[in-house]
Amino acid sequence: MRKKTFLIITVFILILTTIPDLVKVFAPTGDTLDTSWCWLLGYAFSNNLQWGKEIIFTFGPLGFLENTYFYSNHLLWLITAITSIFVRLSFCAIFIYFLYLYVFKNKDSNIHNSIASYIYIVAISIIVSSSIPISMLLCLMATLIIADTFNCDFIKNNKIVLIRYVLSGALFAFSSLIKFNIIPFSILFLLIYPFLIEYNFKSKKNFFQGFVGLFSFILVFLLIYLLIGQNLSNLPDLFMGVYEIIKGYTPAMFLNGRILQTFGAITTLLYFIYLILNSYKNKQKILFSQLFLLLLLLFLVFKEGFVRQDPGIAGGHALSFFTVCIIVIAFTILLYSRMRLSNNFINFIFLFIFCFNLIGGSVNINGANSTKSIINFINLSFNKHERIKLQQSTDSAIRNQFKIDSAILQTIGDKSVTIIPWDLMMAQGYNFKFTPQIIPQAYSAYTPYLDEQNAKQILSDITLQKIIYTFEDIDNRYPLFSEPYTFMAILSCYRTEIQGNRYSLLTRRDSCHDLNLTSISSIKTELNQWVDLPSNADFMDIYINPTFISHIIDILYKPLSQIYISFKLSNNQIVGPYRFIPTVSGDHLFVKYFIRNQSDLNDIMNGDAYNLLKIKSFKIITKGINLDYDNSYNVIFYNSDAKFKDISFLTQNTHLLNQPTSYTIESITLNNTKPLYNLSQNPTPPTDINLTKNDKNDIIQMSGWAVDSVAKNADRGVIAVIDNKYFYPLGSGVQRPDVSKAFNNLNYEYSGFSGSIPLNELSYGKHILTLRIISYDETGYYESKPIELNIEK
């Protein structure tokens, strides 16, 4: 008895020394993407946003409970911290109960008093208390409670069994409202269970009673949903949104990680399948049913961990699988402990699993930090002054994390603003009147339905006056293709008000409507082939059909191939490949111009295209084993009523300015490899350049800086002119703090230019190259000194 008491006390001491951080702060942080959606979950709950109508996301209305962030609503933070402690202690208590039931109470247990019991008690306690999210802990508790009912006496303990049903259904409901992908698992799990009961006991009464868990799940889900202020009329939209989020997640968000992790995970699943088939063969019905339910849970966690498998041997999404796996396997050992197996066999299997867990990287104990976390939690809970102090410190850190130009802040004032694509938590630091997109972060609008929800909001919400827009995306995607329909709506309804290099402010136009698209041509082509765009194409739809087998692959694992898109530009430069999401490629992809950076985005939103390069052609390519997509696909090209000022506009509507301006050519190279001129090696400006053209795709790269000295501002663009006949935009807006510092003028900070001149149109011989530096007001241009360009064979 003393040994049992000692072990239980040891377990709880380990739990207390491995409780994760109870006071997380939003900033400073190296990951503003994940931290921002965590912040949004608290913001949504505090402002009673309606799920399905005003927000659609992977997490649900109770998603804020998943992390113990110090929300500006301090009561919300306190609830998350207390919930985290309570759920973790509850899980440990339930697991200790099963330990007692299977090991200490059962005199026939094969691991009674064995060294394995000591090892796995310590290991499980450390793992559970330090690394598993509470949504998964709740799911685990419900699964283990249900799986153990097969060992109950359904006649003598009928009330206890019913209580277990109700409890497990409630736990599944609570977990589902934290993370929505648990909804289909819970329903499937609770639907299968009664049929396994019928398979084992051949009792109609037990069969129908088995559905109590499902009824409990539905009732508790709806009850909590109402209690937290959600409207039942939104449920159809909610479930539609959840369906779209789950359906589109695998093909849009998958990543490939370490083969070793994948091999270990698939081996574990196959081993469980072997145990299930073996138990069925040996007519061990109860064991078969229990293992089958545990396999369902492992498969859920496998999909969570290995669809988006982060690189690295430990950590990331794959960690969740390895952590849950060790718990499930330990519970499986308890199930097998009732069988006549040798102690040495049990010990060996457990030690192997324990080492497997270490390889997975899930054990993480740091008693010093845990103790500090508990002390910090107690201090903040009872000291309002400390909470206010931490709040002020957090808000200041957020402002330092996202340094927004003062002009943008003054312009926004008390107007409604949204933030695209994901740095949402800046709204707290600057106290914005924040309205999130319905799909809050752009990369998650990965199905036509989700993209359409954001686009409808842009088109119809006239109160949404301002957008803080950043040109960036995840997984090396081309940012304008993440939510194409939404970008088309933004292009129609907003313009650049204040330009920035990272954060630009867009303001709503007086009129806002869907752009009118007119189909101009269509083509059927194949993967890995270049496709030319019509010269007047503004948008295109690409329809790539998934194969039948791809649906099976996506359900069981994830796509075996990744799909990319590359572009050939008007200067013959090839850019890409960019990760491509075919599920939204039929939502009108903007292809008139290629947007390289924030400066190009600022221009296109104002209809200024003279710095932009046109897209001449594109190519869809696959990497990996392509069993996922048909080799042929269809493309439809459209023009639109969108108006852009391109180079022809400037050449026809600007005149030569006689005033001098400041500019410097810093580098000229051939094909980005052969230097033709470099300022650092020759401070004298070039007057003639000699080069050899070997290929029609040869290009000259030029870079430097230029300003409008009269307007005391950066230029509006630089155009390379050959023989006063050929015009090539060299771009503008490259950040140059050194130029700003040299002239003591902050307006010169984005005065850099960099671009290319294709040689395919130029004959051999001598040509005259000049630079036209467009004035800030776009009415005229300054001209550089001429450079003689001698092209030789």
SS (H, E, C) 409-423: HHHHCCCEEEEECCC
Alpha helical stretches, state H, 383-532:
384-401, 406-412, 426-429, 448-460, 484-493
Name, of 179-193, 324-338, 565-579, the range with top average pLDDT: 179-193
Same domain, yes or no: 239 and 316: yes
549 pLDDT band (50/70/90 cuts)? very high
Strands 699-708 and 688-692: unpaired
Cβ distance 659 to 782 under 8 Å?
Answer: yes
Cα–Cα distance for residue pair 537/521, rounded to 1 Å: 9
Rounded to a whole number of angstroms, the CA Rg of the chain reads 31
The verdict on residue 91 lying in a domain is no
Token pair listed for 401: 């994390």
Name, of 340-349, 367-376, 531-540, the range with top average pLDDT: 531-540
Token pair listed for 349: 């299997």
Predicted local distance difference test score (pLDDT) of residue 342: 46
CATH number of the CATH domain containing 688: 2.60.40.10
**Least confident among 14-28, 104-118, 221-235, 490-504:** 104-118
Same domain, yes or no: 342 and 491: no
88 pLDDT band (50/70/90 cuts)? confident
Last residue of a domain, one of 343, 363, 383: 363
Same domain, yes or no: 509 and 594: yes
The closest of 29, 59, 24 to 41, measured between CA atoms, is 59
Same domain, yes or no: 517 and 578: yes
Helix or strand run (H / E) with residue 522: strand 517-526
DSSP character at residue 366:
-
Same domain, yes or no: 349 and 421: no
Is residue 315 pLDDT above 60, yes or no?
no
Residue of higher predicted confidence among 364 and 278: 278
The verdict on residue 76 lying in a domain is no
Helix or strand run (H / E) with residue 501: none
Cα–Cα distance for residue pair 129/382, rounded to 1 Å: 24
Predicted local distance difference test score (pLDDT) of residue 302: 93
The verdict on residue 282 lying in a domain is yes
Cα–Cα distance for residue pair 472/509, rounded to 1 Å: 23
Predicted local distance difference test score (pLDDT) of residue 453: 96
Predicted local distance difference test score (pLDDT) of residue 299: 94
Give me the mean pLDDT over the 257-266 stretch.
85
523 pLDDT band (50/70/90 cuts)? very high
The verdict on residue 755 lying in a domain is yes
The verdict on residue 92 lying in a domain is no
Contacts of 609 (CB under 8 A, 6+ apart): 592, 593, 603, 644, 645, 646, 647
Is residue 361 pLDDT above 50, yes or no?
no
Same domain, yes or no: 572 and 689: no
Cβ distance 688 to 788 under 8 Å?
Answer: yes
How far are the Cα atoms of 60, 94, 147, 330, 564 from residue 143, in angstroms, in the given order? 21, 12, 6, 14, 40
601 pLDDT band (50/70/90 cuts)? very high
Token pair listed for 631: 């080799």
Give me the mean pLDDT over the 545-573 stretch.
92
DSSP character at residue 338:
T
334 pLDDT band (50/70/90 cuts)? confident
Instruction: Compute how many other C-beta atoms are within 10 angstroms of the C-beta atom of residue 130.
Output: 21
Cβ distance 22 to 84 under 8 Å?
Answer: yes
Is residue 362 pLDDT above 50, yes or no?
no
Give me the mean pLDDT over the 280-300 stretch.
92
Predicted local distance difference test score (pLDDT) of residue 347: 52
Q: Is 618 helix (H, G, I), strand (E, B) or coil?
A: strand
Is residue 425 pLDDT above 70, yes or no?
yes
Is residue 367 pLDDT above 50, yes or no?
no
The closest of 407, 378, 377 to 499, measured between CA atoms, is 407
Is residue 564 pLDDT above 70, yes or no?
yes
Cα–Cα distance for residue pair 352/555, rounded to 1 Å: 30
Give me the mean pLDDT over the 263-288 stretch.
89
Cβ distance 68 to 21 under 8 Å?
Answer: yes
Name, of 147-156, 433-442, 570-579, the range with top average pLDDT: 433-442
The closest of 576, 575, 567, 603 to 731, measured between CA atoms, is 603
Is residue 773 pLDDT above 50, yes or no?
yes
Task: Please state the pTM of the whole predicted model.
Answer: 0.86
Last residue of a domain, one of 627, 645, 663: 645
Token pair listed for 496: 């650049």
Range of the domain at 345: 123-363
Cα–Cα distance for residue pair 33/419, rounded to 1 Å: 12
Same domain, yes or no: 204 and 344: yes
Same domain, yes or no: 641 and 667: no
Predicted local distance difference test score (pLDDT) of residue 1: 46
Token pair listed for 463: 């109160």
> Rounded to 5 degrees, what are φ and ψ at 387?
-65, -45
Predicted local distance difference test score (pLDDT) of residue 158: 86
**Least confident among 104-108, 283-287, 532-536:** 104-108
Cβ distance 577 to 621 under 8 Å?
Answer: yes
Cα–Cα distance for residue pair 403/745, rounded to 1 Å: 19
Predicted local distance difference test score (pLDDT) of residue 236: 96
Residue located via tokens 């109950």? 152
The closest of 72, 43, 70 to 57, measured between CA atoms, is 43
Cβ distance 656 to 780 under 8 Å?
Answer: yes
13 pLDDT band (50/70/90 cuts)? low
Termini Cα distance of the chain: 94
Same domain, yes or no: 639 and 722: no
Strands 632-640 and 787-792: unpaired
Same domain, yes or no: 463 and 495: yes
The long-range contacts involving 533-536, CB below 8 angstroms and separated by at least 24 positions, are 533/591, 533/615, 533/616, 533/617, 533/618, 533/637, 534/637, 536/639
Is residue 363 pLDDT above 70, yes or no?
no
The closest of 735, 713, 730, 733 to 772, measured between CA atoms, is 730
Report the share of the chain in percent with pLDDT over 90.
58
**Least confident among 423-432, 518-527, 640-649:** 640-649
Predicted local distance difference test score (pLDDT) of residue 182: 95
Same domain, yes or no: 230 and 297: yes
The verdict on residue 371 lying in a domain is no
The closest of 11, 211, 195 to 93, measured between CA atoms, is 11
Give me the mean pLDDT over the 606-620 stretch.
90
Cβ distance 252 to 581 under 8 Å?
Answer: yes
Cα–Cα distance for residue pair 84/543, rounded to 1 Å: 46
Is residue 366 pLDDT above 80, yes or no?
no
Looking at residue 197, its amino acid is I
Token pair listed for 491: 């292009």
Exposed / middle / buried, residue 625 (Cβ in 10 Å: 0-12, 13-18, 19+):
exposed
Structural domain tally of the chain?
3
> Rounded to 5 degrees, what are φ and ψ at 31?
-125, 90
Predicted local distance difference test score (pLDDT) of residue 707: 94
Cβ distance 633 to 547 under 8 Å?
Answer: no
The closest of 381, 223, 781, 307 to 562, measured between CA atoms, is 307
Residue of higher predicted confidence among 145 and 154: 145
Last residue of a domain, one of 645, 676, 711: 645
Give me the mean pLDDT over the 357-368 stretch.
46
Is residue 612 pLDDT above 60, yes or no?
yes
Predicted local distance difference test score (pLDDT) of residue 364: 43
Exposed / middle / buried, residue 284 (Cβ in 10 Å: 0-12, 13-18, 19+):
middle
DSSP character at residue 167:
H
Cα–Cα distance for residue pair 304/299, rounded to 1 Å: 9
Helix axes 484-493 and 598-605, enclosed angle (nearest 10): 50
Residue of higher predicted confidence among 4 and 619: 619
Residue located via tokens 């040996």? 282
Sign of the alpha-carbon dihedral angle for 682, 687, 690, 694: positive
Same domain, yes or no: 336 and 426: no
Note the maximum CA span of the chain.
Answer: 101
For the chain, give the mean pLDDT: 87
The verdict on residue 787 lying in a domain is yes
348 pLDDT band (50/70/90 cuts)? low
Predicted local distance difference test score (pLDDT) of residue 211: 96
Looking at residue 475, its amino acid is D
128 pLDDT band (50/70/90 cuts)? low
Task: Find the length of the chain.
Answer: 793
360 pLDDT band (50/70/90 cuts)? very low
The verdict on residue 368 lying in a domain is no
Alpha helical stretches, state H, 446-529:
448-460, 484-493
Residues pairing with 619 in the sheet: 530, 566
Is residue 308 pLDDT above 80, yes or no?
yes
Cβ distance 517 to 751 under 8 Å?
Answer: no
Predicted local distance difference test score (pLDDT) of residue 142: 96
Q: Is 278 helix (H, G, I), strand (E, B) or coil?
A: helix
Exposed / middle / buried, residue 704 (Cβ in 10 Å: 0-12, 13-18, 19+):
buried
Is residue 484 pLDDT above 90, yes or no?
yes
